Structure formats: C-alpha cells, structure tokens
C-alpha cells in the first residue's frame, strides 16, 4: 500500500532537485542498489516448503522439503535432481561429502549415503533416535551443528497445547511435563542435545520452546534462536552454554535431580532467577515474529561490507536480521537491525546458506503459518551502502560505527538519535507488552576523527532493558542511512574503567 | 461479566416471546492449529442477532474481527500499522470497516461478540500481527444458502480446494511420479510416532499391497491391500493429522516384539539402526541384544501376503521368532521348526524367510 506512494514521492523529489539545476548527481540510495534478489526455478510438482539447505563440496545445492524430498540443484545448468525421498519433515542438513549427508528429520538424525555412486541415496543409517516423540505436530527437530571436537548438537521442540499426543509414544511419559501451554511430556523436548563422536546423545541445555535456528561460530560458541510465545515475551537469540536453563519451564522435568513438580507452577520469580537471559531480543512485530536459521557471512567481502557478522532469517517479514554483537563484562549481548528490509524478498525465510560464490540462498516455507514457498538468493552487486556496522555499550551510552564516514552536520544532530527503552515480562502468558517504556534523551554526541563512529551519551542506562534506537536522516556524501531501526539488548551495564 | 451476560440472555429469553429466541443465533467458532478458523464459513439468516463465541484451541493468541464486505485486507493492513498501540487495543484498528470484534484470546480461552447484520458477505479475520493474510473466513448472511458455492470450492475461503480434497484434483504430490516400492516416514494410525509406510508393487496382476513398519518398536504392525496412503491431511497445515491408509487392512500384528533370545521369556528392547534400499525395497536393520537383524519384505506372488527375509549377524544363542495366532495369516518358514506361533531357529542361523499368506 505505501510502497507506490513512497516511489512517487521519491520520483517527485528527484525531479524537483534535477529541475533546480543541481550539478551533483543525486543517488537514489536504496538497498537494491547494492543487492539483487533472484528467484530460483523450482521443479514442477514440488511443494517447496523448504526445510533445510546446504551446499556440497562440488558446488551443488542440496535442499530438503516438507514432503520428504531431498533434492540437488546445479546452479550452472539450473537443473534439479532427486537424491532421496520419504523423510518425515526434514529440517536440517550437515554435509559430510558429495555422497553423504546428515539429515535431521522428525523421528531421528539420519545418515544418508549414496554408496553405489548412482546419485541417489541407498543407505539411511539412524545416527540417533534416543529422544521422545509424543506424536504432537510441534515436536520439530532441528540441527545438527558440529563443534570442533566433533560433537553434534540437535534441538528438540516443545509440543503444542494446540494439539494432543498419540496413544503410543516413543520414550517415557512424564505427566508433570504435560502441563503448561507448550509442553514436554517425553524425554528432552525443549532441550538442546549433544551427540558425542562415539554416539551418545546427552542433554546439553534446556528451556527452549522452538529452537529453529542453531549455529556454532568460529570460537565454538553455540547460538540458538527461539520464538515468542508462552514464557517468551518476544523472540530471541541465545548464547547457549552447557547445563544452563533458558527460560521455557516444562523441559526442566528432564533435568537430572529436578524435584517432582510441574515446573510451570514454580513462582515466576524463582524461574526468572534460574534462567539465563537472551543475548539479543528481537522485538515482536517491530523486528520479528519468528526468527529462523542463523548464518555467518563467511564470504570475506563477497557479500558486501558485513563480513563476519551473523544474519538471522525471519518468517513473517520481508527481511532478515543482522546481529551486532557486543561483549560486556565477559557476557554477550548486543543489537539487531533489519537487513534487506521490505525490498522485494519473499517472506518465510526459514533456511539461509551462503553459496561458494558468496551469494546468500534463502529457503522459504509457510507450513501452516504466514510465509512463502520456494528458494531465492541475494547477490551483492558492489558498492558500500550506508548502514550501522557496530553498536557497543559504553559506561555512559552507546558507540555506533558506520560503514561510511558520516556528513558532520547530520551526525552531530542530537535529534537524529531517538532512544526508548522497555522490557518484556517473563511470565506464562503468550508474549508480553513492552513494559516500563520510556524515551531516553541523548545529552551529547561526539563524532570520531574519521567520521565513522559516533559516541552518544544517554540520560540514563538501565540493565535488563531493550534499547530502541531510531536513527534520523543520517547521510554520507549523498547516501542515506539504509536502516534506521535498531534494538540493543542491555542485560549488563558497562563499568567505568577504574 | 460472561455469567452476567448469560443470565441476562436467560432472563430476556424468559421475559420475551418465543420469536425473540428465534432471532438469536449462537455459533461457536474455534481457532485451531495452522492459523485457521473452524469452521471457516458461517451462514446465518439476515436480521438475526448473532452471538459468536471464539474458542482458542491453538497455541497462539488470536482474535476475530468481522469486517464490512471486501474490507478484510484493508483492516489487516491498518491493524499492522497500529505498531506498539496494537496490543492495548487487541490489534483492532478504529475504522468504519470493522463491524465487530473479540478481544485477543489467549490459548485455551474464549471471547464473545454479538452483531446483527443484513444480507451480505462479511469477512472475518484474525488481526493478530502476521495472521491476517492466512487466518480468515467468511460469514454469509443470506436467506438462500443453497446458492453458495460448495465450501471446498469457495473462493472467499483460504486454501479453497487444494490439499484436503486432493484426491479430486490432479495436483501431483511430488516433482516425480511415485515409483513402487515407495516409502514414507510419516504419522500412521495404530503405530508409534516413528512410523514407516511402504507401498509395494503389484505382482502378477494381483492387488497392490502396503505395510506399516514401526521404527520405534522395530516390527511390522499391519498390512493392507488395494492402495498405498493418502498424506494430504498430514502434509497440509502443520502436520498433526495422520496419514491415511488407502485400501483394506488384512493383517494386524498382535504379538508385540517378535524376538526372544535364548530360553528367556523377557521381551528384549530393540534399537532401530535404519535401512538400506535394495532395488527400492527397504531392508530394515535393528539390534536385539548383540544380534544385528535385517528384514526385507516382498509381496507374495499369489494373493495377499509377504515373504519376509531375515538376515542375522553370527550368534551362538538360540533364537525364537513369534508369529501371530488367529491373525488370519498362514505362516511358513524356510528354516527351523514352527510350533504353534513359535519359530525356533537352529543356533547359527544366518538367514531365513517367513512367508505369511492371508487365509
């Protein structure tokens, strides 16, 4: 609705400037000047609810779809070929070789092998199925991701109160885990599990509702996304460490030594003191509804200026999320900012993977929710857009670093930095209002000598709040700032150096 | 509040005439998984007071907004534009196009709206952010419901036609034709949740046969002839509904796990190890104690039944395989002695077939 109007306004303002006889060319600076969306042709007859994507060493794409197909795509010839079929809702791939894959499907982690080299899988080995299944549709299984020691990690969704369980279950039934909205009545639902190289599946961390994104970075740190709902005021990104509890209570019934109580009946304050807070909150409706897979831009610049940064998919908005990590007192927190916001990308971006050529491939699904189907790719065309590169907490405010030097006048205008802070309640209800919402005035701004960083002094900093930053009309040599909305999750204050 | 209203309706009902009661229509509509209303289509007579109760059986929060005809998307977009004001007004924009609405209803809760309408087609929609493009339905106010299109071909409803009635359409299930033997890991009835459905090719002009193998308890569960499966309901939406058997079930296993090791009567706990495809036939593999068992199931050449080929890893232990009794099948083993329902295998047996034929 608003887009045509926006284009008209842009056109009018451009022509006005031209008619005013300006000699300097005016750049119509939008994200599509730097990145292009391309749509991948899908085979006829495929219901392209994309559950998993990866690239093989030989450069072919491998993708799984909801109806159990595993298909290979050769980008050069634009042709699809079937590799395997009949899987149950496959949602993750780890490539071992051109002929061997690990695939996470609903009932198990499976090793698929093409042993006779005819291009089709003929061996399906069960790598692990040592976790429970109640038959509830919401018990999706995610992963695997692998650490440097060769451990694999998988994520097991909690079940949904919107549906029941089967008469026959796999795994021991625990009625205390059946309470609450989303539940965990069979082993390890709501857990991240570690599969050791010798094949033992061990509980690793709990308190998850729907951990649809799992990622291990170069420092062997595990990151997991989770979805807004009961006990999750908003969707979020966690830095996950062994033995810790991340806030969604029913999975606690499977924690060794946990007392025989329904965890959802514990006082929220008690649960709050047990949980580890998110690294980054993705404010509901503003930034995200359903975050999905996490990837890191490992292209060394072939995908633009954000090399080394994490991108997260999102189901309901035509955008991705870019992560601006910060480390305060040894703990990870940080900000999220839209990427390729409302610029022609379809929704439902469930799976993300970088191709060998540095383009970002996006596998889309709807699967009963809002979203789209198919596969698209984002290709970097060159140039440097004006965007926020980093956001760091200081003892008195924030330091923002940009991709380009800022025009001094716009950078130094206090009105170009509008802060508001709030927090999300931790409670059994679905979602949370933005609570204790207050504007936070900026009292000072200083621009670095290279004009790429601004240091902002805020009137007040409160821990355990989300800081919203709306940027004004920041400019850099005719370029406009690309994304104006950032959310910094301030768990810890930064101490002044002694 | 709710009780009070109920009481008031009751009192009004007692005080007023029977005609009043006739003009009041109460309908319960449910929000269900898959961003759907059940039912998605409501038909009422004009001029009646409609009391619509939204029950939320889903795991997400929902509302229900009745809009003026042709105004659903406009209302959805204005609801999205509410931004942070949305939550406090239940994601309902203040605009003329909104005729009535419930509050935001949390999972497990309910809310009621009342409205009186003249002839027309009134969309209803959930304006919770992200839901409005998928979760909607149509309220028809008409004296002539027979003129409405069938619900599965109603263009005003989401997903008109496709999945649930795919047997009536020609939409392919996959980007390839299914080749038999074919298999799906899926949710099957009367089986554990880790089920495998296998469809076999018809032999000698005989019936097509299929079976359900339980990858949780490592055993054949049942078999049918005359078709394979219908996954449409399982595939559509979020995946709670089961895949359906197409055909007639002629065999059901009632014995439980069939293997006994040594002289013990204890039922061993098997562990599923996967399968390999042999000319597309799955050969299942599982472990019982320290014995590796492989099972490959082919159709018998005549009639209904299977030739089950078992391959075992070397073992010195005596093994017993329990067939069914009174299960409508005749059993024949290539090795060992079948006494009653006990097939006792000679020590060191590495391979045998068990042929089961419908009586």
Q: Closest Cα partner for A446 from A411, A472, A481, A420?
A: A411
Domain A385-490: which topology?
Immunoglobulin-like (2.60.40)
Band (pLDDT 50/70/90 cuts) for residue B2 is very low
B275 in reach of chain A (CB within 8 A)? yes
What is residue B48's predicted lDDT score, i.e. its pLDDT?
Answer: 85
Kindly give, in sequence order, each residue whose CB lies less than 8 Å from that of residue B187, ignoring residues fewer than 6 positions away. Answer: A88, A135, A166, B193, B195, B234, B239, B241, B242, B243
Cβ contact, residue pair B174, A169, below 8 Å: no
Cβ contact, residue pair A111, B274, below 8 Å: yes
A212, A227 in Cβ contact below 8 A?
yes
Q: How far is A389 from chain B (nearest CA, A)?
A: 26
Cβ contact, residue pair B192, A429, below 8 Å: no
What is residue B160's predicted lDDT score, i.e. its pLDDT?
Answer: 52
pLDDT tens for each residue of A108-163: 999 999 999 999 999 999 999 999 999 999 999 999 999 999 999 999 999 998 88
**Is ipTM > 0.85 here?**
yes
Q: How many Å apart are CA B179 and CA B175, to the nearest integer?
A: 12
Say yes or no to pLDDT of A8 above 70: no
Do B143 and B190 fall within a single domain? Answer: no
Question: Residue B61: its chain A contacts at CB < 8 A?
Answer: 430-431
Q: Closest Cα partner for A206 from A255, A145, A159?
A: A255
Q: How many Å apart are CA B268 and CA A286, to the nearest integer?
A: 54
SS3 A31: helix
Do B226 and B351 fall within a single domain? Answer: yes
What is residue B1's predicted lDDT score, i.e. its pLDDT?
Answer: 43
Strand partners, B62: B105
φ/ψ (deg, to 5) at B286: -150, 165
Band (pLDDT 50/70/90 cuts) for residue A27 is low
A291, A213 in Cβ contact below 8 A?
yes
Domain extents for chain A?
385-490
Do B196 and B49 fall within a single domain? Answer: no
Is there a domain that residue B13 lies in?
Answer: no
Average pLDDT over residues B130-140: 89
DSSP assignment of B152-204 equals GG-TTSTT-STGGGGGGS---SSSS---SSEEEEE--TTS-SSEEEEEPPP-T
Give the residue numbers spanning the domain of B99: 24-153
Do B217 and B262 fall within a single domain? Answer: yes
Is there a domain that residue B114 lies in?
Answer: yes
Do B98 and B244 fall within a single domain? Answer: no
Question: Residue A315: its chain B contacts at CB < 8 A?
Answer: 130
DSSP state, residue A20:
T
Do B74 and B112 fall within a single domain? Answer: yes
Is there a domain that residue B175 lies in?
Answer: no
Kindly give, in sequence order, each residue whose CB lies less than 8 Å from that of residue A4, ignoring residues fewer than 6 positions away. Answer: none
For residues B293 and B155, which has the higher predicted lDDT (pLDDT)? Answer: B293
Band (pLDDT 50/70/90 cuts) for residue B23 is low
Strand partners, A81: A72
Q: Which of A275-279, A336-340, B40-44 has the lowest mean pLDDT?
A: B40-44
Q: How far is B296 from chain A (nearest CA, A)?
A: 14
The average confidence (pLDDT) of chain A is 93
pLDDT tens for each residue of A289-316: 999 999 999 999 999 999 999 999 999 9
Beta-sheet pairing, A465-471 with A349-354: unpaired
Q: Closest Cα partner for A123 from A84, A91, A88, A96?
A: A84
Band (pLDDT 50/70/90 cuts) for residue A21 is very low
Which 10-29 residues of chain B touch chain A by CB within 8 A? none
Say yes or no to pLDDT of B207 above 80: yes
Is there a domain that residue B70 lies in?
Answer: yes
pLDDT tens for each residue of A344-372: 999 999 999 999 999 999 999 988 777 89
Which 286-345 residues of chain B touch chain A by CB within 8 A? none
Band (pLDDT 50/70/90 cuts) for residue A2 is very low
Do B242 and B339 fall within a single domain? Answer: yes
What is residue A227's predicted lDDT score, i.e. its pLDDT?
Answer: 97
What is residue A4's predicted lDDT score, i.e. its pLDDT?
Answer: 43
Q: How far is A290 from chain B (nearest CA, A)?
A: 10
A117: region left, alpha or beta (phi > 0 left; psi from -120 to 50 alpha)? left
Q: What is the CATH number of the domain that holds B45?
A: 2.60.40.420
Do B216 and B112 fall within a single domain? Answer: no
A161 in reach of chain B (CB within 8 A)? yes
B109 in reach of chain A (CB within 8 A)? no
Do B190 and B325 fall within a single domain? Answer: yes
Say yes or no to pLDDT of A192 above 80: yes
Q: Which of A369-373, A455-459, A476-480 has the lowest mean pLDDT?
A: A369-373
Is there a domain that residue B166 lies in?
Answer: no
Is there a domain that residue B124 lies in?
Answer: yes
- Give me the count of residues in chain B: 359
Say yes or no to pLDDT of A471 above 70: yes
Structural domain tally of chain B? Answer: 2
Q: How many Å apart are CA B184 and CA A67, to the nearest integer?
A: 9
Is there a domain that residue B176 lies in?
Answer: no
Q: How many CB atoms lie within 10 A of CB B53?
A: 16
Is there a domain that residue B8 lies in?
Answer: no
Do B136 and B84 fall within a single domain? Answer: yes
Please say which residue of B136, B153, B170 terminates a domain.
Answer: B153
């Amino acid at each position: 609705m608003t887009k045509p109007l926006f284009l008209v306004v842009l056109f009018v303002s451009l022509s006005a400037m031209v008619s005013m006889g300006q000699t300097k060319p005016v750049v119509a600076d939008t994200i599509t000047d730097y990145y292009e969306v391309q749509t991948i042709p899908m085979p006829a007859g495929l219901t392209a609810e994309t559950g998993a994507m990866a690239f093989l060493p030989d450069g072919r794409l491998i993708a799984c779809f909801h109806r159990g197909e595993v298909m290979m795509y050769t980008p050069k010839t634009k042709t699809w070929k079937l590799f395997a079929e009949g899987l149950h809702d496959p949602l993750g791939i780890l490539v071992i070789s051109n002929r061997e894959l690990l695939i996470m499907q609903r009932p198990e982690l499976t090793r698929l092998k093409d042993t006779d080299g005819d291009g089709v899988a003929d061996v399906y080995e069960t790598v692990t199925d040592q976790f429970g299944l109640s038959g509830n549709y919401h018990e999706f299984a995610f992963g695997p991701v692998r650490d440097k020691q060769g451990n694999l990690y998988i994520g097991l969704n909690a079940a949904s109160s919107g549906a029941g369980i089967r008469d026959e279950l796999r795994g021991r039934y625990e009625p205390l885990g059946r309470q609450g909205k989303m539940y965990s009545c069979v082993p390890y639902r709501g857990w991240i599990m570690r599969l050791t190289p010798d094949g033992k599946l061990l509980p690793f961390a709990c308190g998850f509702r729907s951990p649809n994104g799992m990622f291990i970075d170069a420092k062997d740190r595990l990151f997991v996304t989770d979805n807004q709902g009961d006990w999750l005021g908003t969707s979020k990104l966690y830095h996950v460490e062994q033995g810790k509890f991340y806030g969604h209570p029913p999975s606690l019934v499977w924690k060794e030594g946990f007392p025989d109580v329904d965890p959802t009946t514990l006082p929220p304050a008690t649960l709050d003191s047990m949980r580890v807070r998110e690294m980054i909150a993705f404010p509901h409706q503003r930034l995200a509804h359903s975050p999905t897979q996490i990837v890191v831009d490992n292209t060394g610049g072939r995908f633009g200026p954000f090399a080394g940064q994490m991108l997260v998919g999102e189901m309901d908005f035509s955008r991705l999320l870019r992560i601006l990590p910060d480390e305060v007192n040894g703990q990870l927190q940080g900000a999220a900012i839209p990427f390729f916001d409302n610029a022609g990308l379809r929704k439902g971006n469930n799976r993300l993977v970088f191709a060998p050529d540095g383009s970002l491939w996006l596998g889309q699904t709807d699967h009963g929710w809002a979203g789209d189907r198919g596969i698209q790719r984002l290709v970097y065309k060159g140039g440097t857009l004006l965007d926020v590169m980093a956001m760091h907490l200081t003892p008195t405010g924030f330091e923002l670093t940009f991709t380009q030097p800022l025009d001094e006048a716009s950078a130094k205008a206090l009105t170009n930095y509008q802060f508001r802070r709030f927090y999300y309640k931790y409670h059994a209800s679905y979602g949370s209002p933005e609570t204790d919402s207050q504007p936070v005035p900026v009292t000072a701004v200083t621009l670095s000598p290279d004009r790429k960083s601004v240091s902002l002094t805020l009137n007040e900093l409160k821990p355990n709040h989300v800081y919203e930053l709306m940027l004004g009309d920041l400019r850099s040599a005719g370029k406009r700032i690309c994304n104006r909305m950032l959310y910094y999750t301030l768990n810890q204050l930064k101490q002044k150096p002694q | 509040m709710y009780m009070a209203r109920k009481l008031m309706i009751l009192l009004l009902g007692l005080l007023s005439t029977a005609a009043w009661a006739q003009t009041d229509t109460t309908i319960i509509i449910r929000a269900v998984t898959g961003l759907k209303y059940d039912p998605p289509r409501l038909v009422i007579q004009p001029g009646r007071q409609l009391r619509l109760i939204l029950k939320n059986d889903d795991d997400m929060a929902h509302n229900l907004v009745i809009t003026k005809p042709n105004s659903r998307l406009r209302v959805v977009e204005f609801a999205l534009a509410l931004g942070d004001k949305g939550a406090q007004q239940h994601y309902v924009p203040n605009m003329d196009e909104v005729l009535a609405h419930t509050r935001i209803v949390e999972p497990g809760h309910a809310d009621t709206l009342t409205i009186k309408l003249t002839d027309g087609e009134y969309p209803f929609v959930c304006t919770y952010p992200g839901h409005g493009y998928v979760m909607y339905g149509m309220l028809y106010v008409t004296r002539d419901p027979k003129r409405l299109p069938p619900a599965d071909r109603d263009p005003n409803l989401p997903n008109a036609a496709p999945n649930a009635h795919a047997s009536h359409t020609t939409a392919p299930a996959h980007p390839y034709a299914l080749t038999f033997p074919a298999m799906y890991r899926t949710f099957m009835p009367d089986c554990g949740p880790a089920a495998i459905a296998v469809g076999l090719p018809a032999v000698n002009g005989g019936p097509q046969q299929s079976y359900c193998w339980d990858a949780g308890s490592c055993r054949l569960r049942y078999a049918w002839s005359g078709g394979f499966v219908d996954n449409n309901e399982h595939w559509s939406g979020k995946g709670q509904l089961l895949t359906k058997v197409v055909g007639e079930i002629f065999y059901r296993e009632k014995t439980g796990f069939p293997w006994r090791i040594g002289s013990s009567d204890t039922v061993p706990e098997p562990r599923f190890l996967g399968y390999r495809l042999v000319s597309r036939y799955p050969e299942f593999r599982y472990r019982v104690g320290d014995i590796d068992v492989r099972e490959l199931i082919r159709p018998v050449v005549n009639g209904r039944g299977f030739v089950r080929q078992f391959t075992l890893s070397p073992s010195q232990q005596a093994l017993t395989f329990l067939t069914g009794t009174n299960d409508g099948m005749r059993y024949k083993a290539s090795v060992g002695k079948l006494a009653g329902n006990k097939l006792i295998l000679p020590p060191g047996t590495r391979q045998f077939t068990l042929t089961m034929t419908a009586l």
